[in-house]
Amino acid sequence: MHRGADDLERRFDAFVRGHGERHLRLAVLLTGDWHAAEDLVQASLVKLYQAWPRLDTDADPDAYLRRIVVNTHRSWWRSRWRRERPVAALPDGAGAADMAATHAVGAVVRQALAGLPRQQRAVLVLRYFEDLPEAEIAALLGCSPGSVKTHAHRGLRTLRELLGDDWPQSPVNRMPALERDRG
């Protein structure tokens, strides 16, 4: 491998190490569980890697990868629609009581998100987790800014209905500092 390719490889590795977890978190909100999220991000990284040598030095790899993640999730969803359908109410899951307290909140919300129609879920995640403006969300999802507003409104309403009384009244269960448990 010649030196230019070595540099590209190193920069790619450094990008994944430094930014990968951020996209993993986006992916878990889109997919609902960590295994699927890992799968989605790794598949997206393969696509990013193929494009990596062509990315301009001014390009934003994060934005590029986010687009790949969102589009890949959309194509996955389309091929799996028979297995993933919005539900009117949360199914009886494993039960938050069976999980550690620090994970219970996250799991409940992820489960609720997974109950939303895909487009509403994507809009909420891109709007409130990625903090993207409506115009950018519209471009990512291939819809109009007006549709983004509609999906956001309906998504919040559905989320409210799905969480209902199960949601704590105050945000006391804050997640610990975002450091991986090394060992």
Residues that bind another protein (CB under 8 A): 6, 13, 16-17, 20-21, 24-26, 28-29, 34, 38, 41-43, 45-46, 49, 102-103, 105-107, 109-110, 113, 124-125, 128-129, 131, 156, 159-160, 163-164, 167, 171, 173-176, 178, 180-183
In the complex, minimum distance from the CB of residue 6 to another protein, in angstroms, rounded to a whole number:
8
Of 18, 15, 25, the C-alpha closest to 61 is 15
Residue 101, C-beta contacts closer than 8 angstroms, at least 6 positions apart: 173
In the complex, minimum distance from the CB of residue 92 to another protein, in angstroms, rounded to a whole number:
19
CA distances from 137 to 58, 70, 153, 167 (A): 21, 10, 14, 27
In the complex, minimum distance from the CB of residue 138 to another protein, in angstroms, rounded to a whole number:
18
Sort 69 into a burial class: Cβ within 10 Å, 0-12 / 13-18 / 19+.
Answer: buried
Nearer to another protein, 103 or 142 (CB): 103
Nearer to another protein, 25 or 154 (CB): 25
Nearer to another protein, 70 or 159 (CB): 159
Nearer to another protein, 25 or 74 (CB): 25
In the complex, minimum distance from the CB of residue 144 to another protein, in angstroms, rounded to a whole number:
21
**Coil, strand or helix at 123:** helix
